[in-house]
Structure 1
Amino acid sequence: MNRALVQALGLGLLLGLAPTATGADKPNVVVILCDDMGFSDLGCYGGEIATPNLDALAANGVRFTQFYNAARCCPTRASLLTGLYPHQAGIGHMMDDKGKPGYTGNLNAACRTIAEVLKPAGYRSYAVGKWHVTRFAGADGPKTNWPLSRGFDRFYGTIHGAGSYYDPSSLVRDTTMISPFADKEYTPKTYYYTDAITDHAVRFVGDHAKDHARDPFFLYVAFTAAHWPMHALPEDIAKYKGKYATGYEPVRKARFEKAAKLGLIDPKQLMCPGAEDWDKVADKAWESAGMEVYAAMVDRMDQGVGKLVAELKRNGQLDNTLILFLQDNGGCAELQGRTGNANHPNIARPDKPTFPAMKPEEFAAGGSVPKQTRDGFPVRMGPKVMPGPADTYVAYGRGWANVSNTPFREYKHWVHEGGISTPLIAHWPSGISAKGELRKQPGHLIDIAATCTDLAGATYPKDAPALEGKSLRPAFADKALDREAIYWEHEGNRAVRAGDWKLVAKHGRVWELYDLAKDRVEANDLAAKEPERVKALVAKYEAYAKRTNVEPWPVAPAKK
Structure 2
Amino acid sequence: MSRPNVIIILADDLGFSDIGPFGGEIDTPSLQRLADRGIRMSSYYVTPRCSPSRAALLTGHHPHSVGIGVLTTDNRPTGYPGSLTTTVPTLAERLSEQGYTTGLFGKWHLASEFVTPSETWPTRRGFDEFRGILPGASSFYQPPLVSGEERLPKEALGEEFHFTDDISEHGADFVRRHAATGDPFFLFLTYTAPHWPLHARDEEIAKYRERFADGWDAIRSERLRRLQSDGLIPTVDHLPPGVILPDWSDVDGREWQTERMAVYAAQVEALDRGVGRVLDALADAGVEDDTLVLFMSDNGGCAEELPPGISIFGELTCPTKTRTGEPVVVGNIPDVMPGPENTYQSYGREWATVSNTPFRMWKRWVHEGGISTPFIASWPSGGIPTGSAISHSIGHVIDIVPSVLEAAGSSSDTEGESLLQLWRDPAASSGNRTLFWEHIGNAAVRRGRWKLVREWGGSWELYDIEADRIESDDLSGSRPDVVAELAAAYDEWARSHGVIPWQDVLDDYESRGVPAAHAVG
TM-score by length of 2: 0.93
- Map 1:183-194 to 2 at 5 A: 190-194=160-164
Maintained 8 Å contact 2:48/2:439: yes
Maintained 8 Å contact 2:321/2:342: yes
Q: Which residue of 1 aligns with 2:458?
A: 509
Distance 2:299 2:244 in 1: 18
Q: Which amino acid aligns with 2:487?
A: V
Moved more, 395-404 or 381-390: 381-390
Aligned with 2:193 (options 219, 225, 238): 225
Q: Which residue of 2 aligns with 1:499?
A: 448
Identify if the C-alpha distance between structure 1 residues 489 and 68 changes in structure 2 by more than 3 Å, giving closer, same or farther. same
How far the C-alpha of 1:469 sits from its partner, in A, is 0.8
Q: Which residue of 2 aligns with 1:360?
A: none
Q: Which residue of 1 aligns with 2:513?
A: none
Give CA deviations for 1:441-476 in whole Å, capped at 9, x if unaligned.
11111111111111112354xxxxx41111111111
Q: Which amino acid aligns with 1:30?
A: I
Aligned with 2:214 (options 221, 233, 246): 246
Aligned with 2:156 (options 174, 182, 193): 182
Q: Which amino acid aligns with 2:404?
A: C
Maintained 8 Å contact 2:454/2:461: yes
1:383 aligns with 2:334: yes
Q: Which residue of 2 aligns with 1:458?
A: 410
Q: Which amino acid aligns with 2:408?
A: A
Aligned with 2:6 (options 3, 11, 29): 29
Identify if the C-alpha distance between structure 1 residues 223 and 190 changes in structure 2 by more than 3 Å, giving closer, same or farther. same
Identical-residue share of aligned pairs (%): 44
Distance 1:548 1:177 in 2: 35
Identify if the C-alpha distance between structure 1 residues 471 and 180 changes in structure 2 by more than 3 Å, giving closer, same or farther. farther
1:172 aligns with 2:146: yes
Q: Which residue of 1 aligns with 2:274?
A: 304
Maintained 8 Å contact 2:363/2:369: yes
1:325 aligns with 2:295: yes
Maintained 8 Å contact 1:155/1:174: yes
Larger Rg belongs to: 1
- Map 1:333-344 to 2 at 5 A: 333-336=303-306, 339-341=307-309
Q: Which residue of 2 aligns with 1:197?
A: 167
How far the C-alpha of 1:482 sits from its partner, in A, is 4.7
How far the C-alpha of 1:281 sits from its partner, in A, is 2.4
Q: Which residue of 2 aligns with 1:402?
A: 353
Q: Which residue of 1 aligns with 2:132?
A: 157
Q: Which residue of 2 aligns with 1:295?
A: 265
How far the C-alpha of 1:507 sits from its partner, in A, is 0.7
Q: Which amino acid aligns with 1:321?
A: T
SS of corresponding position for 1:323:
strand
Maintained 8 Å contact 1:441/1:475: yes
Maintained 8 Å contact 2:43/2:394: yes
Maintained 8 Å contact 1:130/1:223: yes
- Map 1:392-471 to 2 at 5 A: 392-431=343-382, 432-460=384-412, 466-471=413-418
Maintained 8 Å contact 1:270/1:407: no
Distance 2:9 2:237 in 1: 30
Q: Which amino acid aligns with 2:207?
A: K
Give CA deviations for 1:264-288 in whole Å, capped at 9, x if unaligned.
1111454325433134422111111
How far the C-alpha of 1:434 sits from its partner, in A, is 3.9
Distance 2:456 2:438 in 1: 10
Distance 2:378 2:289 in 1: 9
Q: Which residue of 2 aligns with 1:356?
A: none
Identify if the C-alpha distance between structure 1 residues 330 and 365 changes in structure 2 by more than 3 Å, giving closer, same or farther. closer
Distance 1:135 1:97 in 2: 6
Q: Which residue of 2 aligns with 1:65?
A: 42
Maintained 8 Å contact 2:176/2:281: yes
How far the C-alpha of 1:547 sits from its partner, in A, is 1.1
Distance 1:59 1:144 in 2: 40
Identify unmatched segments of 5+ residues in structure 2: 508-515
Q: Which residue of 2 aligns with 1:359?
A: none
Q: Which residue of 2 aligns with 1:43?
A: 20
Maintained 8 Å contact 1:180/1:191: no
How far the C-alpha of 1:483 sits from its partner, in A, is 5.7
TM-score by length of 1: 0.86
Distance 2:452 2:392 in 1: 19
Moved more, 96-105 or 259-268: 96-105
SS of corresponding position for 1:33:
strand
How far the C-alpha of 1:149 sits from its partner, in A, is 0.2
Maintained 8 Å contact 1:102/1:550: no
Give CA deviations for 1:5-46 in whole Å, capped at 9, x if unaligned.
xxxxxxxxxxxxxxxx3xxx2011100000111100001101
Give CA deviations for 1:148-177 in whole Å, capped at 9, x if unaligned.
1001110111011111000002x1111111
Q: Which residue of 2 aligns with 1:125?
A: 102
Identify if the C-alpha distance between structure 1 residues 114 and 329 changes in structure 2 by more than 3 Å, giving closer, same or farther. same
Distance 1:220 1:517 in 2: 32
SS of corresponding position for 1:494:
strand
How far the C-alpha of 1:543 sits from its partner, in A, is 1.2
Give CA deviations for 1:30-83 in whole Å, capped at 9, x if unaligned.
000001111000011011000011011112210000001100001111111111
Q: Which residue of 1 aligns with 2:469?
A: 520
Distance 2:198 2:43 in 1: 28
Identify unmatched segments of 5+ residues in structure 1: 1-20, 345-363, 461-465
1:286 aligns with 2:248: no
Q: Which amino acid aligns with 2:105?
A: V
How far the C-alpha of 1:244 sits from its partner, in A, is 1.4
Distance 1:71 1:342 in 2: 23
Maintained 8 Å contact 2:13/2:297: yes
Moved more, 231-240 or 173-182: 173-182
